[in-house]
Amino acid sequence: MSEPAKPTTASAHSYLSGARLALAGVMVNAFLGIIKILAGLLGNTYALIADGVESLLDIFGSLAVWFGLRVAAAPPDDEHPYGHGKAEVLSAILVSFTVVAAAIGLAVQSIREIRTPHGLPATWTLIVLVGVVIVKELLARKVGRAGVLIGSTAVKTDAWHHRSDAITSALAFVGIVIARVTDYAAADDWAALFASGLIAWNGVLLLRPALHEAMDTAPSKSLEEQIRAIATKVPGVTALDQCRIRKMGLDFYVDLHVGVEATLTVREGHRIAHAVRKAVREAHPPVADVLIHIEPDDELDDDDE
């Protein structure tokens, strides 16, 4: 009823666009990580050192997204007839675990620093943190908008990875201010500990949609309703039964049971199936393929064999 499934050309361009953003994130994280670690060492603040280490760890997350999107952009082959879109969601899962692991490491080291006496952090480190928060939040918003625009779970996860870095830096700023005002040197370490909890929670929140997508969880009901509405308007369609949708990377694949008059010829049923497929794909470009199952409309209520 339809030609072999083939990811859309637009999705391939979107994969590569997301990969470029991930690569830009690698360079930004490398630069900021080195700056923060040096400032933390010179300014006597573990919160800033921990923040810098997290930025360097973020490099691996962004590289995972970059690699996943590059693989996902590859065309279908004999071993992967539906394309390589699952690489995109696998990279999102990997990044989510990286966020949680970084949070745990940050928490452990923060507790060690709280128990170890040390001097007050330098006031000038606040300037570094302000610059970091601004850069990372701007990057998070840019990457986040791109993730929503292209519908990429991995890119949206990478955006939150950048935002978690901005949150860590903002809390480090608060901790250093408290430390300077109260003469309590461990205040910035407590700030780092609190930040680790927020980062871990964000990592869990990021992991859930990625796992749902990997498990082929059905997308929003609104998409199904739109597809049903489009198919119903195609001449010759008298009823609709099952409509199953799954997401493969940036593309959607639809299985649709269409009812037609029982007296139609095979050729007529075939023509209607192609008309439905064409109508759905034209109305929703992210839909890569629609597999149509034609049934006599008087048998739609029967159990499928």
User: Residue 225 domain-assigned?
Assistant: yes
Q: What is the pTM of this model?
A: 0.71
* Domain-located, residue 4: no
192 and 231 assigned to the same domain: no
Residue 77 lies in a domain: yes
Asked which of 153, 184, 214 is the last residue of a domain, the reply is 214
Q: Report if residue 90 sits inside a domain.
A: yes
| pLDDT (mean) for 214-219 | 80
- Tell me: do 76 and 123 sit in the same domain: yes
Residue 142 shares a structural domain with residue 284: no
Question: Is 253 found in the same domain as 191?
Answer: no
Residue 82 shares a structural domain with residue 120: yes
- C-alpha distances (whole Å) from 123 to each of 35, 120, 126, 169, 191 are 16, 9, 6, 15, 16
Transcribe 158-207 into DSSP letters: HHHHHHHHHHHHHHHHHHHHHHHHH--TTHHHHHHHHHHHHHHHHHHHHH
Q: Which amino acid is at 88?
A: E
Last residue of a domain, which of 199, 214, 229?
214
Q: Is pLDDT at 74 greater than 50 in this prediction?
A: yes
Tell me what pLDDT residue 4 has.
47
Q: Tell me the CA distances in angstroms from 8 to 71, 149, 226, one per residue in order.
A: 15, 15, 19
Are 149 and 249 contained in the same domain?
A: no
Provide the CATH number for the domain around residue 150: 1.20.1510.10
Write the Ramachandran bin of 118: left for phi over 0, alpha for psi from -120 to 50, otherwise beta: beta
Q: Rounded mean pLDDT of 62-89?
A: 81
Asked whether 110 and 189 are in contact (CB, 8 A), the reply is yes
Statement: residue 2 has pLDDT above 50: no
Residue 222: partners with Cβ closer than 8 Å, 6 or more residues away:
none
Q: From the centroid of its chain, how far is CA 92?
A: 5
| 148/295 same-domain check | no
| DSSP at 118 | -
Per-residue pLDDT tens for 18-62? 778 888 888 888 898 899 889 888 888 777 777 787 777 778 878
Residue 3 lies in a domain: no
How does the average pLDDT of the chain come out, rounded? 82
Structural domain including 281 reads 221-299
pLDDT band for position 6 (cuts 50, 70, 90) = low
CATH number of the domain that 282 lies in? 3.30.70.1350
Q: Which two tokens stand for residue 158?
A: 């990478």
Residue 137 falls inside a structural domain: yes
- Same domain for 89 and 104: yes
Nearest to 164 by CA among 261, 255, 51, 80: 51
- My answer on whether 93 and 52 are in the same domain is yes
CA distance 83 to 218: 19
Would you state the pLDDT for residue 215? 82
What is the per-residue pLDDT for 257? 92
Counted domains in the chain: 2
Q: Which two tokens stand for residue 240?
A: 């609709």
Please give the residue that has the higher pLDDT: either 63 or 51: 63
Place of tokens 């139609």: 264
- Domain end call among 189, 214, 239: 214
Instruction: Give ∠ CA 86-87-91 in degrees, rounded to 5.
Output: 120
47 and 137 belong to one structural domain: yes
- Is residue 305 one of the residues assigned to a domain? no
In a domain, 259, yes or no: yes
Residue ranges in the chain assigned as alpha helix (H):
9-43, 46-72, 86-115, 125-150, 153-182, 187-214, 221-232, 266-283
What is the signed CA dihedral for 109, 112, 118, 124, rounded to 10 degrees?
20
Do 24 and 158 have their domain in common?
A: yes
Q: Are residues 69 and 141 in the same domain?
A: yes
